[in-house]
Amino acid sequence: MALDHGAIGVESAPLDRSWTSKDALLYAVGVGAGIDDPLHELAFTTENTGGVAQQVLPTYAVLLAQVPGARRIGDFDPAMLVHAEQAFELHRPLPAEGTVRATSKVTGIYDKGKGALVVTESTAVDPDSGEPVITSRGSAFIRGEGGFGGDRGPRDEWAVPDRKPDHQVTYGTRPEQALLYRLSGDRNPLHSDPAFAARAGFDRPILHGLCTYGVTGRALLHTLAGSDPARFASMSGRFSSPVLPGESLTVSIWADGDTALFRTTKDDGTVVIDRGRATLR
């Protein structure tokens, strides 16, 4: 089995991605909105609360910019693939329902020795005006596909600030969180099928990395942006350890004006999202 390096730089055909008010509400519940206090995030979990207009969580942008099956990158065991990094820039707030036109391309395949890191970039634009709405960048680590003698890729000089976090926020997840989140589109059996999870080396299905990312995004939105999606410009982070549904997540935030560094950990201190960055408007 080998990866197709000819896929690098080839842009996919455009794909229109539409969503409804219900889709946005389901996503919000899928990343834990309202889990601790059902009355706390009504702008994101309801569409008919008096005096409260529905809004969309910024991290939903990552799902809307995806182009499923944009280009095959070779033959490999899908159980060996894990989401490694995710970043996005939101050029304007997402409406409660709408359509974007998305394209995607592989921007690099890097040799990490025990595996390969495949980096992709997706762009979603307004289908009528062509104006950008979302820019999304992600990477997947595929175990067993490294060692081909290629470039190891760029280094990130992110470091934990030499001071205590300015904010620490803890959110819970539900035991059935992965079953809720998968209804927003990611039906990877790694998160629901015990036998498939065992093939990947896990005792039980794990939580989607992008669900952990969404929980973290909620913490950043409410803590730094006053719960206003219009102020949320970008977010990035590296997935460093799996989360089991039902575990709590603590987001430590070091703020510096309109930028912030963050790290997400479990109760035992295990880092699950590292090298986090966020920017505000």
- How far, in whole angstroms, is CA 36 from its chain's centroid? 21
197-234 burial, b at 16+ Cβ within 10 Å, e below that, comes to beebebeebbbbbbbbbbbbbbbbbebbbebbbebbbb
Rounded distance, CA 76 to CA 149, Å? 18
Residues ≥6 apart with Cβ < 8 Å to 34: 28, 40, 41, 42, 44, 45
Collapsing DSSP states into helix, strand and coil, what is residue 26? helix
Reading the block at residue 225, the tokens are: 């942006």
| Cβ–Cβ under 8 Å, residues 105 and 120 | yes
Residue ranges with strand state E in the chain = 15-19, 81-90, 98-111, 115-125, 132-143, 167-171, 232-239, 249-256, 259-265, 271-280
Given 191, 203, 228, 274, which residue is catalytic? 191
Given 186, 228, 256, 258, which residue is catalytic? 186
Residues ≥6 apart with Cβ < 8 Å to 1: 74, 75, 76, 77, 144, 145
Rounded distance, CA 33 to CA 51, Å? 19
DSSP label at residue 127: T
Q: Tell me which residue of 96, 90, 104 sits closest to 15, measured CA to CA.
A: 104
Residue 191 annotated to the active site: yes
Residue 186 annotated to the active site: yes
Q: Name the residues annotated as catalytic.
A: 186, 191
